[in-house]
Structure 1
């Protein structure tokens, strides 16, 4: 039982660590695009945003892309370019 618990704990840590490696360069907050403006741009591109948050030095969204697939995307908040993307298969 202890081995099973340890394995489950290790698996959850590895999956969390895999997503935590999205890196955006540290930039002064004054250079960041405003959240509302950035959300509006993403919506205009066809994204349906379920959750929007700041993750470290990145903007992060959970939602759907224009094809209706679930996405988790990290964006550079200054350039607006995706840094890491996970799309449902």
Structure 2
């Protein structure tokens, strides 16, 4: 039974780590780009944003890119650089 519990705990940890978001460096909020301005920039770059949120120290979007592929992207809110990108194949 102990072996089963240990295996279940390892599996749960592994699946939660795989689903974890990006790690963006903690920075003062007054240095972050304004959400509305950042969304406008992404839209100008061809993204269609279905959902935009703050996720930890990152901006996160769900939507489509200029090629129409579904995306989930985490961005550094100061530099605007992608921290983690998931694009539908």
Q: TM-score, normalised by structure 1?
A: 0.82
> Which ranges of structure 2 fall in alignment gaps of 5 or more residues?
1-7
How many residue pairs end up in the alignment? Answer: 82
Instruction: Tell me which residue corresponds to 1:67.
Output: 67
Give 1:19 deviation, angstroms.
3.4
Task: Give runs of aligned pairs for residues 6-45 of structure 1, distance below 5 A.
Answer: 10=11, 14=15, 16-45=16-45
Pairwise CA RMSD: 2.1
> Which ranges of structure 1 fall in alignment gaps of 5 or more residues?
1-6
Q: TM-score, normalised by structure 2?
A: 0.82
CA distance in 2, matches of 1:73, 1:55: 11
Instruction: Tell me which residue corresponds to 1:85.
Output: 85
